[in-house]
Chain A
Amino acid sequence: MFEGFEGGRLPAAFMSAGTSSFTEFLSSVSPEMLPGHKLPPGGGTEHLTPDATTIVALTFPGGVLVAGDRRATQGNVIANRDMEKVFRTDEFSAVAIAGSAGIGIELARLYQVELEHYEKMEGRSLSLEGKANKLSQMVRGNLGMAMQGFVVVPLLVGFDENTEQGRVFSYDAVGGRYEEHRYHSIGSGSVFARGSVKKLYREDLDQTGATKVALEALYDAADDDSATGGPDLHRKIFPLVDVITEDGHRRLSTEEVARLATEVVEGRAANPDGPTAPLG
């Protein structure tokens, strides 16, 4: 596992006062375990991993939610129907990814350990800004991979315990961090999803209402973007919805999402373009 570990003792780095960052620590003891270590030269390799697609996030009074469709595509082929691209990262945050799936999943997993590691080492969690900045550095760390075609962008949502409200952060491929207000969407179907949320969003949405808006938006994305998957009633595959409030992180059960998603699909049977926003 580690050099010198066979002898029964861990390397000295394990005992040093050192860093509270897991990534930093790992790069000093086992850099080969970090994603993007020793990049082979050359480009045009983006066909090696499928793409994860549409994510929608929106805030509501007292919380924030993030929802992701389940499809991963490779060119015109559906690579996976029930992929999970929304990850609980700690009690008060979640990350969703769009772009190169293989890289994104690893990024989310590492980020999750990073937050927990800091919390255990220091005895307290990072602030939400701290979490957002850390993710920014990690995305920037992936720049080499991004330039070879493995672009991955995360969307971070969290409940800020200081201001007691939900917040959303988006990123670009070089690690640029942007705070989004009210709602945001990323991924291939995001153009359609954002348009949909824009028209349905209300300041006073409750949690169920916000979930419904997110599901409508994902439906609209799936309607117009071939890489986004809609609710699959036959296979019982529904979007993943994570809600974060002052009570912490909660992933809605499949039954809860199924009920709301079925309502959305049935609504579309009567009106294929979905609910309309009133004029004026």
Chain B
Amino acid sequence: MPFYVAPEQQMKDKADYARKGIARGRSAVVLQYEGGILMVADNMSRTLHKISEIYDRIGFAAVGRYPEFENLRLMGVRFADVRGYQYDRRDVSGRQLANIYAQTLGTVFSESLKPWEVEIVVAEVGDAADEDEIYRITFDGSIVDEQGFVAVGGSSEHVSDVLKDRFAADASLSAALNAATHALARENGEERELEASNLEVAILERARQHRKFRRIHGRRLTRLIEEGKANGRAASGGGTSGADTADEADE
């Protein structure tokens, strides 16, 4: 015997459910740096990715329930590859993908009993910094065109606030990574130490040929973290160095 539930109440319940689900997981941030777009997620797993490649210039970052956003990722890759094969590689855009994701999440939210507990970011690196696009899509299908940086996840507002103070669109890779990890480490008001093994890091590198997406891990990641910390200390101590020196080496 079903009870009558007001639509407002129903939507509110679903939204609360989704928010709670998302808040259980760790956050992710996506931000511009001098060479493109940096994506960083707090992720212990080396195989279950929160950050992935969708197409030549487009990256994907997600938080929440893995099987749900993995589904969205596969959908995005299929959509982009079909589009690119049908027309041309340049005809696949982040905006199209963001729209498809918004439509899908919106329909799931309004039509099914259980909303998806995910929040995703679609980032596209352009030929110049002012052509970069970063979209945030929430569990109910809302889509926001973000400027410069975005944080998603449980306490994204908190992470976002911390990141705002340190964000600079023309920062070096190590400085941007330092800002991102600093913000992620202060999630939920706590203060943790994030190491290379806790982080999943990838960049959309503007200058790169063909596919711009590239993961950063292992020694290169450790080195960038060290460099960012050293420069951060130097900067707070009045120093001015901030150059990302050994950027293009191994890995």
Contacts and interface: CB of A to CB of B under 8 A. Distances in A.
Q: Are chains A and B native binding partners rather than an unrelated pairing?
A: yes
Nearest to B100: A10
Given A10-B104, A15-B74, A26 B82 contact: yes
Interface string B53-91: 110000000000000000100110111011111100000
A121 B104 contact: no
A120 B54 contact: yes
B104 A113 contact: no
Contacts of B104: 9-10, 15
- Which secondary structure dominates where chain A touches chain B? helix
B107 A26 contact: no
Contacts of B74: 14-15, 17, 121
A254 B53 CA distance: 31
- Which secondary structure dominates where chain B touches chain A? helix
Contacts of B100: 10
B49 A14 contact: no
B84 A113 contact: yes
Interface size class of A (residues with CB under 8 A): 20 to 34
B82 A30 contact: yes
Given A1-B86, A14-B75, A117 B81 contact: yes
Contact of A120 (B77, B83, B107): B77
B156 interface: no
Interface in A84-103: 88
A33 interface: yes
Ranked nearest first, the 5 interchain pairs of A and B with the lowest CB-CB distance are A8-B103, A14-B75, A120-B77, A117-B81, A113-B85
Interface of B: 47, 49, 52-54, 71, 74-75, 77-79, 81-86, 100, 103-104, 107, 210-211
Interface of A: 1-2, 8-10, 14-15, 17, 22, 25-26, 29-30, 33, 88, 109-110, 113, 116-117, 120-121, 123
